[in-house]
Chains A and B, each alone.
Chain A
Amino acid sequence: MKNRGLAVFLIGVLLFSVAISGCIGGGEKTETQTTTPQYAGKIAVVYDVGGRGDLSFNDMAYLGASKAAKEFNLELKEVQSNTESDYLPNLRSLAQTGEYNLIIAVGFMMTDAVTQVADEFPDQKFAIVDGFIPDKPNVVSILFKENEGSALIGALAGLIAANDGKDKVGAVLGIEIPVLYKFEGGYRFGIKWAEEYYKQKTGNDVKIDLLYTYTGSFTDPAKGKTAAQAQLGQGAWVIYQIAGAVGLGVFDAVDEYLKSQGKEMGPPFAVGVDSAQDWIKPGVIIASMMKRVDVGVYKAVEMAIKGNWQGGIMELGLNEQGVGVSTIDAVKEMFNSLPEDTKQQKLKELGLASEDELFAKLEETRKQVPDWIWQAVAELEEKIKSGEIKVPMATTKDQIEAIREAKTWQEMEDLAKQWESS
């Protein structure tokens, strides 16, 4: 009895090892195809718990890092974090090897961990996206002026609503953290700017209210859907999502609302965030506020490789193309960075035959909004770029409250100047 069990077990082991040795051979074969023998260095990207596949923040970081790796002939290592307690070990294990020209931490949640590891390895260069670590020579903090990009979205949303005789727009946000105040404040600024622009253009007074919901999550699409449904019910005409994966629920809610009205295209519209998300639901998403994490990451790698490294803050606004409203070209670039089978599957889900059809539909979506509105948005963009108009950047509860109470965009601009001088 006992011996038979042992024999069966040994035969099992034998079979396993035969199977494996065959597979190992196969594994090596694929490896020789993919590895490039020559490289000038190594970079590493550590993702936060959100990770790759979010179609926004983390994927954008990968886009920038992989582009830089290709251009500068670098080996790119990606590390995913399972839980929050992985940040420190992941960063440390990479830094310990001393092999990496730059280690990029994606997400402000890694701020504490990067601060600590940067002290432990003063010769190792780090970059952190969205984190604020101002005074370490070996860390560059990549920050964005989300307020500037969001102001353009506010102008777009406000004018669409005003043009259709509506008086409400919406925003669905994630967890209440300082970064989101930058979005909310900028959005409010743009809406107020739209009110005045519309009055000057048509002579009609409009007042547009903002319905906003902090869902308390970045990962639960159901919460985004409920929040968006409530806002649509109250008459929100454009809903800006600033909530990561929660925003996917916002898109669903607007999509279903349109279908229930027998419409294939908005208004009402949704607005995407971080990456050019327009392709996720053509007809529903009018545009996206792009936060070019890819640009920031690329710049940081370039700096580390080319020897003009400078620690501290790297802040990217409209002028640096760090933020902006998505264009059809930007959507194409984002869509084309997806793996081929994902692209095909997405097209199938959307019921479209080809990429061209997708982009044609996106063009048509944009045509639902009159040209003068797009021009107005471009006008505001130019004014912000030239410094003629200053968009407030709220990063604390007090500051966002002050913006919420302001009646006009000029009042908000005064706040911006006040904060800047202090």
Chain B
Amino acid sequence: MKANIKGFFKPLVESLIAIIIGMLIGAIILAFSGYSPTEAYVALFDGALGSKYGWAMTLSAATPIILTALTFGLGARTGLFNIGAEGTVYFGAIAAIIFTNILGNVLIGLLGGIIAGLVWMSIPAFLKVFRGVNEVVSTIMLNWMAYFIALYIVLQKIPNPDDPNKTIAVPVSARFPIVIRGTELSWAFVISVAAALIAYYILWHTTLGYELRVSGYNERAARYGGINPKKAVIWSFLLGGIMSGLAGATEVMGRPPSYAISQGMANIYGYGFDGIGVSLVGRNHPIGIIFSGIFFGMLKAGATAMQIEAGVPLEMVRMVQGIIVVTVAIPGLLDLLKRGVRK
């Protein structure tokens, strides 16, 4: 029990210190560029947490990145460096649009996202287990393949005839209801938190989760203990696929105003990569990921306020946020590296 508390508090304290250091560095850069750091940070926190609207923005921004972080986190727990969430998000979104246009129902849309995620993630899983292909290489390549295949589908197969700039939209009957009117917070947030809780339950309260984690710590020991590490790897990929497939689906079903994919996939691009950072900050722990996802969401929501209220240009806002994110991710990264070296 004592070890457990220590295992919880140490990362928390480390993260808090990292946030403070990151903010201090950001403050210096802001000040040297002629902007008031106090004004900027007050705007950031006030915009993201100071009102019901701000909270809604923060949580809605956290929704997709919690899910993609779970993909990376589940992989990392099994000793994998799975960065294929990005491509999986595209197919999750496309499947959700196609499925809901056939049958306008939220559950059907989520099912579409799950199936797309499972199918796409089974490719690197197969390559890893049966051909020994390193998942870093395969998922990077698959991300690019996904990008161009998805682009083709978006442009050629499901474009909106009235507005060629985007795809057909998810029908009204399959959209997530908005929780607070006049915000973007939809019930999709609940899905992502539930997914994180389920991932936590699987990892620490089921035999499968035990097998996943043991394979991550030491493959040989796992085999000695009667665990098939191949099975663990496949499960880790597939569960991860479900998570980022859902991220794509919830994004098109839950974010106003367009409920569609726009050309160049501009509105769903990048969530997979953001997820890596979110997972590192959350120490690849599903519960940690919920909080770090909300932290990232806060930075996103606060960016608007920093521009409008403190007059800091977007480029500067992003730079400061980037610095904070990097410093916050460092402890998690070191953790991951240490474990890799030990193995």
What distance in Å separates the Cβ of A218 from its nearest Cβ neighbour in chain B?
A: 9
Asked whether A386 is an interface residue with its Cβ less than 8 Å from the other chain, the reply is no
Whether A26 contacts B31 by the Cβ 8 Å rule is: yes
* Residue from the list A13, A19, A94, A116 in contact with B256, Cβ < 8 A: A116
* Residue from the list A20, A94, A96 in contact with B37, Cβ < 8 A: A20
Asked whether B217 is an interface residue with its Cβ less than 8 Å from the other chain, the reply is no
Produce 1/0 per residue, B30-61, CB < 8 A to A.
Answer: 11101111100000000100000100010000
* Residue from the list A30, A49, A79, A175 in contact with B34, Cβ < 8 A: A30
* Residue from the list B38, B264, B267, B307 in contact with A79, Cβ < 8 A: B307
Asked whether B301 is an interface residue with its Cβ less than 8 Å from the other chain, the reply is yes
Produce 1/0 per residue, A198-240, CB < 8 A to B.
Answer: 0000000000000000001100000000000000000000000
What distance in Å separates the Cβ of A96 from its nearest Cβ neighbour in chain B?
A: 7
* Residue from the list B165, B256, B308 in contact with A88, Cβ < 8 A: B256
Whether B165 contacts A175 by the Cβ 8 Å rule is: yes
Produce 1/0 per residue, A51-65, CB < 8 A to B.
Answer: 100000000000000
> Number of B interface residues, CB 8 Å?
44
* Residue from the list A16, A31, A85 in contact with B24, Cβ < 8 A: A16
Chain B residues lying within 8 Å of A78, measured Cβ to Cβ, are 307, 313
Chain A residues lying within 8 Å of B264, measured Cβ to Cβ, are 217
Chain B residues lying within 8 Å of A88, measured Cβ to Cβ, are 184, 256-257
Whether B165 contacts A177 by the Cβ 8 Å rule is: yes
Give CA–CA (A44, B308) in the complex, Å: 9
Give CA–CA (A181, B22) in the complex, Å: 49
Give CA–CA (A27, B37) in the complex, Å: 9
- Please give me the residue from chain A that is nearest to B314 by CB atom: A80
Give CA–CA (A94, B305) in the complex, Å: 9
Whether A13 contacts B53 by the Cβ 8 Å rule is: no
Asked whether B340 is an interface residue with its Cβ less than 8 Å from the other chain, the reply is no
* Residue from the list A9, A93, A108 in contact with B304, Cβ < 8 A: A93
Chain B residues lying within 8 Å of A120, measured Cβ to Cβ, are 182
Whether A13 contacts B24 by the Cβ 8 Å rule is: yes
Chain A residues lying within 8 Å of B30, measured Cβ to Cβ, are 27
Given known contacts A82-B314, A84-B266, is B34 in contact with A112 (CB within 8 Å)? no
Chain A residues 16 to 40 lying within 8 A of chain B, measured CB to CB, are 16-17, 19-20, 23-24, 26-28, 30-31
Asked whether A115 is an interface residue with its Cβ less than 8 Å from the other chain, the reply is yes
* Residue from the list B27, B182, B318 in contact with A82, Cβ < 8 A: B318
Asked whether B255 is an interface residue with its Cβ less than 8 Å from the other chain, the reply is yes
Given known contacts A13-B24, A16-B28, A79-B304, is B313 in contact with A24 (CB within 8 Å)? no
Given known contacts A16-B24, A20-B27, is B255 in contact with A85 (CB within 8 Å)? yes
Chain B's interface: helix, strand, loop or mixed, by majority? helix
Asked whether B17 is an interface residue with its Cβ less than 8 Å from the other chain, the reply is yes
Given known contacts A26-B31, A27-B36, is B258 in contact with A112 (CB within 8 Å)? yes
What distance in Å separates the Cβ of B287 from its nearest Cβ neighbour in chain A?
A: 26
- Please give me the residue from chain B that is nearest to A47 by CB atom: B314
Asked whether B269 is an interface residue with its Cβ less than 8 Å from the other chain, the reply is yes
Chain A residues 60 to 97 lying within 8 A of chain B, measured CB to CB, are 77-86, 88-90, 92-94, 96-97
Whether A23 contacts B32 by the Cβ 8 Å rule is: yes
- Please give me the residue from chain B that is nearest to A178 by CB atom: B164
* Residue from the list B21, B47, B314 in contact with A93, Cβ < 8 A: B47
Chain B residues lying within 8 Å of A17, measured Cβ to Cβ, are 24
Whether B34 contacts A177 by the Cβ 8 Å rule is: no
Chain A residues lying within 8 Å of B269, measured Cβ to Cβ, are 83
Chain A residues lying within 8 Å of B315, measured Cβ to Cβ, are 80
Interface size range on A against B: 35 or more
Given known contacts A24-B37, A177-B165, is B257 in contact with A116 (CB within 8 Å)? yes
- Please give me the residue from chain B that is nearest to A51 by CB atom: B314
* Residue from the list A49, A89, A96 in contact with B266, Cβ < 8 A: A49
Whether A27 contacts B31 by the Cβ 8 Å rule is: yes
Chain A residues lying within 8 Å of B24, measured Cβ to Cβ, are 13, 16-17, 20
Whether B28 contacts A23 by the Cβ 8 Å rule is: yes
Asked whether A113 is an interface residue with its Cβ less than 8 Å from the other chain, the reply is yes
Central interface residue in B255, B267, B270, B308, by most chain A CB within 10 Å: B308
Give CA–CA (A115, B304) in the complex, Å: 20
Asked whether B303 is an interface residue with its Cβ less than 8 Å from the other chain, the reply is yes
Whether B28 contacts A109 by the Cβ 8 Å rule is: no
Asked whether A176 is an interface residue with its Cβ less than 8 Å from the other chain, the reply is yes
Whether A27 contacts B27 by the Cβ 8 Å rule is: no
What distance in Å separates the Cβ of B71 from its nearest Cβ neighbour in chain A?
A: 20
Asked whether B218 is an interface residue with its Cβ less than 8 Å from the other chain, the reply is no
Given known contacts A9-B17, A115-B257, A178-B164, is B267 in contact with A83 (CB within 8 Å)? yes
What distance in Å separates the Cβ of A93 from its nearest Cβ neighbour in chain B?
A: 5
Given known contacts A19-B31, A27-B35, A88-B256, what 15 new A-B pairs fall within 8 Å (CB)? A16-B24, A16-B27, A20-B27, A27-B34, A28-B36, A31-B36, A77-B311, A79-B308, A80-B314, A82-B314, A83-B269, A92-B53, A92-B182, A112-B257, A116-B256
What is the interface of chain B, defined by CB distance below 8 A to chain A?
A: 17, 20-21, 24, 27-28, 30-32, 34-38, 47, 53, 57, 155, 164-165, 182, 184, 255-258, 262-264, 266-267, 269-270, 301, 303-305, 307-308, 311, 313-315, 318
Sample of 18 A–B contacts (CB below 8 Å): A16-B24, A23-B28, A24-B37, A44-B308, A51-B314, A77-B308, A77-B311, A83-B267, A84-B266, A86-B304, A88-B184, A90-B304, A90-B307, A92-B53, A92-B182, A109-B262, A177-B165, A217-B264
Which 10 interchain pairs have the tightest Cβ spacing? Answer: A23-B31, A80-B314, A112-B257, A84-B266, A84-B267, A116-B257, A16-B24, A112-B258, A27-B36, A30-B34
What is the interface of chain A, defined by CB distance below 8 A to chain B?
A: 9, 12-13, 16-17, 19-20, 23-24, 26-28, 30-31, 44, 49, 51, 77-86, 88-90, 92-94, 96-97, 108-109, 112-113, 115-116, 120, 175-178, 216-217
